[in-house]
Amino acid sequence: MVDFDRRDFLKATGGTVGASLLAGCTGNSSGSDGTKVGMVYATGGLGDGSFNDQAQQGLIKAKEELGIAYEESQPENNSEFASMQQQYAQNGSFDLVNCIGFAQKEALQANAKEFPEQKWTIIDESVDQDNVASYRFREETGSYLVGKMAGMLTQRDFSAGAGATTQGTNTVGFVGGIESPLIKKFEAGFQAGVKSVDDSIEMLSSYVGSFNDPAAGQSQARSMYNSGADIIYHASGATGVGVFRAAQDLGKFAIGVDRAQSVTQPDFADVILASMVKRVDTAIFNSIKAVVDDNFKGGTTTRLGLNDNGVEVAYGDQLGSEIPQDVKDALSQARESIIAGDISVPTQPQ
């Protein structure tokens, strides 16, 4: 009857545990203002060195600067979104629930209606409900800039770190995660940037079908590099690690996404030319700050682009200094032109 003992033990201790849990809920940590935030990540989870980790940065910043408390959930697949969102709304003590990634849209549409009192934020999609604040990015503009860089570099002999480009190849590549309108925006911007250098540059493109499959990313990147691509840009979350690995294996370059990946994936800093940083952290921090300031933007979609540093190019930690100045100048010029509206970047691949 060991089992009975265990339950007895739990019964005796349950009160203490419950009390300590409750203490955590009311946020008794020093400097707390009592705001409590829930977070449901995209599949792929924390530790992807990319999208989800970037989102968490905003949460941590909000904790440090605003003194909020938070809880996180990491779903394993798309069918878990609905119930993970609900566990926060059911709880009733969360002032805001952040839903990371477009895949949560359908689940949130239903839950926002079911829990009208709950405030929600969704990243990368728009949900048209009064209690949902939507944040989206102009990914195509940042992708255009790294596309321009890739296009200029593939046309010359350039070597740095563990990678090199060859003048004759004239080919670049794009590896996407799941084929969707959002990831197509990355592809479209990249393509437009490449073609703005020279229309004859070939762009290979493929979708892995997952944001969490480095092995598949590696094999697709390998075949692209073997077909002549000098530089591959990925928009595929944790899958992208495979792209970096392939670049290292074959002595080519890669471009990271969402975070400065030469910093977050230091093992591959010698092949990462730059990263198209998407400031999901800014969006999360802003949405939390809005709730703390009693200024929640429910029912609206905020779009973050180059001008408000919602997206930006971060040169590689290790390779950035070796990128020729004329390439960097061309990028800052293009950036100004996009902000000024002189260049309009397509959101769908041609």
Partner 1 sequence: MNDDSPRATTESQPRWRRTLSRLVDASAKERMVISVAALVLAVAVGFVIVVLAGLAATCATKATVLGVPTPLCYDPVAVYHELFLGAIGHPLSGNWTPLHFRMAVTLQNATLLVFTGLAVAVSFRAGMFNIGVQGQMVLGALAAALATIHLGGVAPSGVLGTLVLVPVGVLAGAVAGGLWGALPGALKAYADANEVITTIMLNFVAANFAYVVVSSWFTPPDSSLVQTANIPTAAYIPTVPFAFQPRDSFSLLGLLFAVALVVGVAYLLARTVFGYDLRASGEQPEAAAYGGVSEKQTMVASMTLSGALGGVGGAVLVMMVQGRWLANLPQLGFDGITVSILAGNNPLGVGFAALLFGVLKSGSAAIGFGTDVPPSLVDVLRGLVILFVAMPEFFRMIGASLGVGGDVDA
Which CB atom, from 107 or from 283, has the smaller least distance to partner 1?
107
Which CB atom, from 6 or from 303, has the smaller least distance to partner 1?
6
Strands 311-315 and 272-278: antiparallel
256 CB-near residues (< 8 Å, 6+ apart): 50, 234, 240, 244, 262, 265, 272, 274, 275, 276
Q: Can you tell me the distance from the alpha carbon of 225 to that of 231, in angstroms, rounded to the nearest whole number?
A: 8
**DSSP H/E element including 160:** strand 158-160
Task: Out of 97, 100, 102, 135, name the contact with partner 1 by CB under 8 A.
Answer: 102
Report which residue type is found at 47.
G
Site for partner 1 in 38-97 (CB under 8 A): 43, 45-46, 71-74, 76-80, 82-84, 86-87, 90
- Give, to the nearest 10 degrees, the angle between helix 81-91 and helix 105-114: 30
Question: Nearest approach, Cβ of 47 to partner 1 (angstroms)?
Answer: 9
Please give the backbone phi and psi of residue 313, each rounded to the nearest 5 degrees, phi first.
Answer: -100, 125
Question: Nearest approach, Cβ of 238 to partner 1 (angstroms)?
Answer: 14
Question: Nearest approach, Cβ of 318 to partner 1 (angstroms)?
Answer: 26
Which CB atom, from 42 or from 197, has the smaller least distance to partner 1?
42
Task: Out of 8, 20, 31, 198, name the contact with partner 1 by CB under 8 A.
Answer: 20
137 CB-near residues (< 8 Å, 6+ apart): 124, 278, 279, 280, 283, 303, 304, 305, 310, 311
Site for partner 1 in 120-139 (CB under 8 A): 125
Count the site residues for partner 1 by CB under 8 A.
47
Task: Out of 29, 167, 226, 332, name the contact with partner 1 by CB under 8 A.
Answer: 29
Of 161, 193, 187, 189, nearest to 174 (Cα)?
187
Q: Can you tell me the distance from the alpha carbon of 44 to that of 219, in angstroms, rounded to the nearest whole number?
A: 19
| Residue 139 near residue 185 (C-beta atoms within 8 A) | yes
By CB under 8 A, residue 215 contacts partner 1: no
Task: Out of 34, 168, 181, 266, name the contact with partner 1 by CB under 8 A.
Answer: 181
Question: Nearest approach, Cβ of 131 to partner 1 (angstroms)?
Answer: 15
Question: Nearest approach, Cβ of 156 to partner 1 (angstroms)?
Answer: 38
| Binding region for partner 1 (CB under 8 A) | 2-3, 6, 10-11, 13-18, 20-21, 29, 43, 45-46, 71-74, 76-80, 82-84, 86-87, 90, 102-103, 105-106, 110-111, 114, 125, 178-182, 209-210
